[in-house]
Amino acid sequence: MDTPGYIILSRLGAQLRATEVLAHNMANADTPGFRAARPIFAAAVEQQRDVGGPSGGRPVAYALDRATWRDTAAGPIGVTGNPLDVAIRGEGYFAVETPEGERFTRAGRFALDAQRRLIDAEGYPVLGAAGTPIGFAANDTRIEIQGDGTVRSENGVVGRLRVVRFENEQALKPQGGRLYAADDPPEPVERPNLVQGAVEGSNVSAVLEMTRLTAELREFQFATQFAEREGERLQGAVDRILRRR
């Protein structure tokens, strides 16, 4: 395969990656606290070799899939009426305890388990400021979660939600649609702004993602057609050489 073939293959790979990222976003359009991902591409420029002219050859650019970045724009806050649901307005993440260690989430759809611990939608205990799960007594029936994260019942203060921030949110590693792992230590948010009885939705707009996906599929089709034409050109060149022989 000559240079044009390799170039178009790099383009096809880039388009495939972009389509996969968009499809993942659309699949999580209704996932609470989900943040959309966007692919980052670059041009890998190389110099042609062994060409007669122009002197030194011409640069050849290949599509390079570098990474993805996370859209950190907040999703819409929807009122649920469930006193255990909590949305974060502004920066911050809730901390939960998983078998793999502490993980972080914007999805504040919480409930109580059989031990009356506050848990997230995956069943992981929600951590308090002291780094331990928040639990309620049997006679704690009227639960209030204040804007600063303080958790109260009719019997007094139960604890305070652990809300943290990160210097570089792009370094967070997504695990599923709701959780993130972090290599860097988190910083506590001293004055969080929480909303009880509400949940932050996904920041994915299904209509916009569908538009982007349609455009990417069209580009993929154009690249495929180019690859087919390039294959026909090479086959025609081979046939002419064989006829001359």
Co-location of 87 and 181 in the same domain: yes
- Position with higher pLDDT, 241 vs 178: 178
The pLDDT of residue 42: 58
pLDDT at 51 over 80: no
- Domains held by the chain: number: 2
pLDDT surpasses 90 at 39:
no
pLDDT at site 63: 62
Strand bridging mode 111-112 / 101-105: unpaired
Rounded Cα distance between 206 and 211, Å, is 9
Which tens digit of pLDDT belongs to each residue from 90-102?
999 999 999 999 9
Per-residue confidence (pLDDT) for residue 20, from 0 to 100: 86
Do residues 170 and 215 share a domain? Answer: no
Which of 34-48, 61-75, 101-115, 188-202 has the lowest average pLDDT?
Answer: 34-48
Q: Are residues 193 and 126 in the same domain?
A: yes
Based on the fold, state whether residues 105 and 128 are members of the same structural domain: yes
pLDDT of 228 strictly over 90: no
| 87 and 195 belong to one structural domain | yes
pLDDT band at 82 (very low <50, low <70, confident <90, very high): very high
Q: How confident is the model over 213-228, as a mean pLDDT?
A: 80
> Does residue 43 register a pLDDT over 80?
no
Q: Give me the domain span that covers residue 91.
A: 77-200
Check whether the bond before 54 is cis (ω within 30° of 0): yes
Query: Does residue 62 carry a pLDDT above 80?
Result: no
Q: How confident is the model at residue 223 (pLDDT cuts 50, 70, 90)?
A: confident
- C-beta atoms surrounding 49 within 10 Å: 9
Mean confidence (pLDDT) of the chain: 85
Q: Indicate whether 226 and 179 sit together in one domain.
A: no
- pLDDT tens digits, residue range 143-191? 999 999 999 999 999 999 999 999 999 999 999 889 999 999 999 998 9
Do 21 and 112 belong together in one domain? no
State whether 135 and 226 are in the same domain: no
187 within 8 A of 93, measured Cβ to Cβ: no
Q: Looking at the structure, do residues 87 and 188 belong to the same domain, yes or no?
A: yes
Residue 101, beta-bridge partner list: 98
Q: Which residues contact 48 (CB under 8 A, 6 or more apart)?
A: 3, 57, 58, 59, 60
Q: What is the mean pLDDT of residues 103-126?
A: 95
Higher-pLDDT residue of 28, 48: 28
Residue 232 pLDDT class (50, 70, 90 cuts)? confident
- The per-residue pLDDT for 45 is 53
CA distances from 235 to 3, 9, 97, 221, 231 (A): 15, 17, 60, 21, 6
pLDDT, position 204: 93
Q: Could you tell me if 86 and 164 lie in one domain? A: yes
Residues 55 and 115 in one domain: no
Q: Which of 224, 195, 240, 236 is nearest to 9 (CA)?
A: 224
pTM above 0.85, yes or no: no
Say what the pLDDT of residue 7 is: 72
**Does 220 share its domain with 195?**
no
- Which residues fall within 8 angstroms of residue 160, CB to CB, at 6 or more apart? 128, 129, 148, 149, 150, 151
